[in-house]
């Protein structure tokens, strides 16, 4: 069974540019999470989807971040415009009908 | 950059010895706990989990202990190997939600 897939794995952009990250969860997993991870720290939740509904987006900086999961399967996280402080690893995770969430490899973003 | 990661608590053990990684959790209403292993450049990898109605669970070379009285979780790795070198995170899930809170992380270094 394929795990959580994320792309790209690495992205380098200049500040003020837009960037998008894509995630495909484990097949059949209805719950999808986007996390931000700064170096040396644990993941911090940005947004959680149950199917296509965003049920927890309280930590998402909505002035520049947006996310969508239109068909309840794959998801896109966007930043526009990116700032220097957005440099981090963006992790996607999914959960099926158990309590366990599984992570993808992450996208490492560097904003110059 | 890497200097931030060096501020992680670090546990150094000799190859072949047992390792014990500790985690204090915050919410007495948490009902499910997961230990993740994260190698450099990769996403967190599920190791073992435990529910709040248990105090011990064993896997292959790993054991998780839960002490709800003092809100403490530990991960024991038997016969530590070089491949165990990574950062280890605990995560707690609050009862009635599918939101996970991650601990700070501990870097495990295995000495040859």
CA dist A24 and A110 (Å) reads 22
Tell me: the pLDDT tens digits for B13-34? 999 999 999 999 989 999 999 9
Q: Are strands B10-14 and B106-111 parallel, antiparallel or unpaired?
A: parallel
- Which of A39, A56, A57 to probe by mutation at the B interface, max B CB count within 10 Å? A39
Element (H, E) at B4: helix B2-5
Rounded mean pLDDT of B7-15? 90
Interface with B, mutate which of A40, A47, A48 (most B CBs under 10 A): A40
In this prediction, residue B3 carries a pLDDT of 34
User: Smallest CA–CA separation between A39 and chain B, in Å?
Assistant: 6
Helix then strand then coil, % of chain A, to nearest 5: 5, 50, 45
Q: Are A83 and A111 in contact (CB under 8 A)?
A: yes
User: Contact at 8 Å (CB) between B36 and B104?
Assistant: no
Q: Say if the Cβ atoms of A106 and B99 lie within 8 Å.
A: no
Cis peptide before A63 (omega within 30 of 0): no
A30, A109, B77, B98, B107 from A98: Cα distances, Å: 11, 31, 25, 10, 28
Q: Would you call B71 helix, strand, or coil by DSSP?
A: coil
- Confidence band (pLDDT; 50, 70, 90) for B1? very low
Give the model confidence (pLDDT) of B88-105 as tens digits. Answer: 999 999 888 888 999 889
Amino acid A90: pLDDT: 98
For A30-84, write each residue's pLDDT tens digit: 999 999 999 889 999 999 999 999 999 999 999 999 999 988 899 999 999 999 9
Per-residue pLDDT of A9-23, as tens digits, reads: 999 999 999 999 999
Residues of B in contact with A56 (CB under 8 A): 99
Query: Considering just the CA atoms, what is the radius of gyration of chain B in Å?
Result: 14
Do B43 and A40 count as a contact with CB atoms less than 8 A apart?
no
Cβ–Cβ under 8 Å, residues B21 and B104: no
Instruction: Indicate the DSSP class of residue B9.
Output: -
Predicted confidence (pLDDT) per residue in B35-57, tens digit? 999 999 999 999 999 999 999 99
* Residues ≥6 apart with Cβ < 8 Å to A13: A19, A82, A109, A110, A111, A112
**Alpha carbons A38 and A34: distance in angstroms, whole number:** 13
């Amino acid at each position: 069974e394929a795990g959580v897939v994320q792309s790209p794995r690495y992205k380098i952009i200049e500040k003020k540019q837009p960037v998008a990250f894509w995630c495909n969860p484990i097949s059949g997993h209805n719950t999808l999470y986007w996390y931000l991870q700064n170096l040396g720290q644990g993941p911090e939740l940005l947004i959680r989807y149950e199917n296509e509904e965003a049920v927890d987006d309280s930590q998402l900086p909505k002035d520049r971040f947006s996310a969508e999961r239109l068909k309840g399967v794959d998801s896109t996280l966007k930043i526009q415009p990116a700032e220097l402080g957005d440099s981090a690893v963006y992790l996607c995770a999914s959960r099926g009908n158990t309590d366990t969430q599984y992570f993808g490899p992450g996208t490492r973003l560097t904003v110059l | 950059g890497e200097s931030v990661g060096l501020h992680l608590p670090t546990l150094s053990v000799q190859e072949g010895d047992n390792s014990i990684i500790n985690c204090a959790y915050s919410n007495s209403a948490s009902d499910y706990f997961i230990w993740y292993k994260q190698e450099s450049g990769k996403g967190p990898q599920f190791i073992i989990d435990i529910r709040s109605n248990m105090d011990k669970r064993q896997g292959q070379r790993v054991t998780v202990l839960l002490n709800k009285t003092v809100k403490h979780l530990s991960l024991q790795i038997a016969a530590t190997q070089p491949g165990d070198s990574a950062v280890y995170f605990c995560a707690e899930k609050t009862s009635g939600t599918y939101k996970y809170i991650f601990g700070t992380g501990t870097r495990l270094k295995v000495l040859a």
